[in-house]
Amino acid sequence: MQAVGLITEYNPLHNGHLYHLQQAKAVTGADCSVVVMSGNWLQRGEPAILDKWTRTQLALAAGVDLVIELPVFYATQPAHLFARGGVELLTALGCQSLVFGAEHPGLDFEQLLTALPKTQAAFKHYNATYATQFNTALQATTGMTLTKANDMLGFCYYLANEQFGRRLQLVPIQRQKADHSESQIVATSQFASGTAIRAAATQQAWSQIKPVVPAATLDQLRTQRLQTWADFWPYLHYQLLTGAIEQTHQYDQMAEGLEYRFKEMAQSATSFTDFMARVKSKRYTYTRLQRVATAALLQLTSAEVQTAQAHNYVRVLGFNPTGQAYLHQIKKQLELPLYTKINKDLRRHGLALDYRAGRIYGLINGQSQDLYRRPIQFLG
């Protein structure tokens, strides 16, 4: 049985994701689709609008065969680390290929690898994002830059695949929506960005959403509690007001005195949006600041995140009969630990960070996210 891999967030699953999945199977001829999906906290430093179990159910209903969780210590990282975590899991799971959406799939991503400095020590400018640093090197060597988010993420997949021995065939396909940041749903289109769909969902604009998502997604958006940063702001606010600077300094991706700025601006901020506006400067993007805020909320320190990244694992969220058969086929060759549930021992040790992240998410969601939860078995 041959497997194709996809790295996703499904926040929420929409028609563009359906197209991605259908194309992945069509262009590779794979028997099984394996999706590595972020859990309840996402790469842009925000909570998922629907919890990971609901999004797993939607993925399986859409035709995904096997859903694996991307652990929080990779899911909330910059593009190069997000990609590394996902590629490591797909490689360990024996996938033959990784299909990803790009704004410019015709780019020679392999050639772009030559623009990367020979040593990662060259990327030590903490006041610039990885994308900025890479594009500076790319501009100097080729005269090009990667200005679109998915093109940059695509390059990071190639970089990660190189690091893990080029065991995946990488297949870029044309994205059906040009930009994640587009905030409006176009009435005449069957595709919309996740940003636009989430904005419409918070306004309960169901008639706008209906043409651009599967019926099951619309139903979940209408009936589930939708999580946003505003829900978690009181908890973050309390931590920033009461925590010592020495503690705040240890949070993941906190650098160059940013902990002082966080604490100072928390004194007068009235909401998460207001806090972000006060903290924002030319030095840091909103996405970078949201990731730091996520680390602070979840109390993820740099030390424990780096330790966890060296001990990745396969956490199964759901499967259909094809996915179950594929797991049975490859489990003896798995190079990483395989987990199907979190017991009391794992929550204290191996899966402690994901358990912590789930507990915080559950404060708003109201449902246990990890302890004794078993994978969803989808029978169609």
Give the number of other Cβ atoms within 10 Å of residue 188's Cβ. 5
113-122, 144-153, 220-229, 262-271: which has the minimum mean pLDDT? 113-122
What residues have CB less than 8 Å from 33, skipping those under 6 apart?
3, 4, 5, 6, 21, 24, 25, 63, 64, 65, 66
127 is in an annotated binding site: no
Quick one: pLDDT at residue 162?
94
Quick one: pLDDT at residue 126?
47
Q: What is the CATH number of domain 3-107+146-180+312-377?
A: 3.40.50.620
Hey, is 377 helix, strand or coil?
A: strand
When comparing pLDDT for 112 and 255, which is higher?
255
Asked if residues 36 and 211 have their Cβ atoms less than 8 Å apart, the reply is no
Quick one: pLDDT at residue 129?
64
18 is in an annotated binding site: yes
pLDDT over 70 (residue 253): yes
> What are the φ and ψ backbone dihedral angles of 326, each rounded to 5 degrees?
-65, -45
Q: What is the DSSP letter of 210?
A: G
> What are the φ and ψ backbone dihedral angles of 359, each rounded to 5 degrees?
-65, -40
What rounded mean pLDDT belongs to the chain?
92
Average of per-residue pLDDT across 120-146:
63
Quick one: pLDDT at residue 316?
98
150 is in an annotated binding site: yes
260 is in an annotated binding site: no
Cα(271)–Cα(263) distance, integer angstroms: 14
Name the β-bridge partners of 294: none
When comparing pLDDT for 183 and 7, which is higher?
7
Quick one: pLDDT at residue 109?
84
Cα(140)–Cα(182) distance, integer angstroms: 30
Alpha helices per DSSP H over the chain? 15-28, 52-61, 72-75, 79-92, 109-112, 130-142, 149-163, 194-202, 206-209, 215-223, 229-242, 245-248, 258-266, 272-279, 286-298, 302-309, 321-330, 344-348, 352-365
Quick one: pLDDT at residue 148?
82
pLDDT over 60 (residue 179): no
Hey, is 162 helix, strand or coil?
A: helix
User: pLDDT tens for residues 52-67?
Assistant: 999 999 999 999 999 9
Average of per-residue pLDDT across 293-298:
98
At which residue do the structure tokens 């497997």 appear?
A: 3
Q: What percent of the chain shows pLDDT beyond 90? A: 77
214 is in an annotated binding site: no
pLDDT over 90 (residue 110): no
180 is in an annotated binding site: no
pLDDT over 50 (residue 47): yes
What is the crossing angle of helices 258-266 and 229-242, to 10°?
100
Quick one: pLDDT at residue 258?
95
User: pLDDT tens for residues 322-371?
Assistant: 999 999 999 999 989 999 988 888 888 889 999 999 999 999 999 999 98
69 is in an annotated binding site: no
The structure's pTM equals 0.93
Quick one: pLDDT at residue 330?
97
Asked if residues 194 and 12 have their Cβ atoms less than 8 Å apart, the reply is yes
Length of the chain as a residue count: 380
* Confidence tier at 178 by pLDDT (50, 70, 90): very low
> Where are the domain boundaries for CATH 3.40.50.620 in the chain?
3-107+146-180+312-377
Element (H, E) at 145: none
Average of per-residue pLDDT across 169-183:
76
Name the β-bridge partners of 32: 3
pLDDT over 70 (residue 91): yes
Quick one: pLDDT at residue 105?
86
179 token code pair: 């930009």
Name the β-bridge partners of 307: none
Quick one: pLDDT at residue 113?
79
Quick one: pLDDT at residue 343?
86
> What are the φ and ψ backbone dihedral angles of 121, each rounded to 5 degrees?
-60, -20
* Confidence tier at 121 by pLDDT (50, 70, 90): very low
15 is in an annotated binding site: yes
What is the crossing angle of helices 215-223 and 52-61, to 10°?
160
Task: Report CA-CA distances (Å) from 179 to 90, 103, 174, 183, 198.
Answer: 26, 8, 12, 9, 14
8 is in an annotated binding site: yes
10 is in an annotated binding site: yes
Q: Which three-class secondary structure string do you get for 97-124?
A: EEEEEECCCCCCHHHHHHHCCCCHHHCC
Quick one: pLDDT at residue 363?
97
17 is in an annotated binding site: yes
19 is in an annotated binding site: yes
* Confidence tier at 256 by pLDDT (50, 70, 90): confident
Q: Give the angle subtended at the CA of 84 by the CAs of 81 and 90, to the nearest 5°.
A: 145
107 is in an annotated binding site: no
When comparing pLDDT for 305 and 107, which is higher?
305
Query: Best-predicted range by mean pLDDT among 39-48, 115-124, 343-352?
Result: 39-48
pLDDT over 60 (residue 118): no
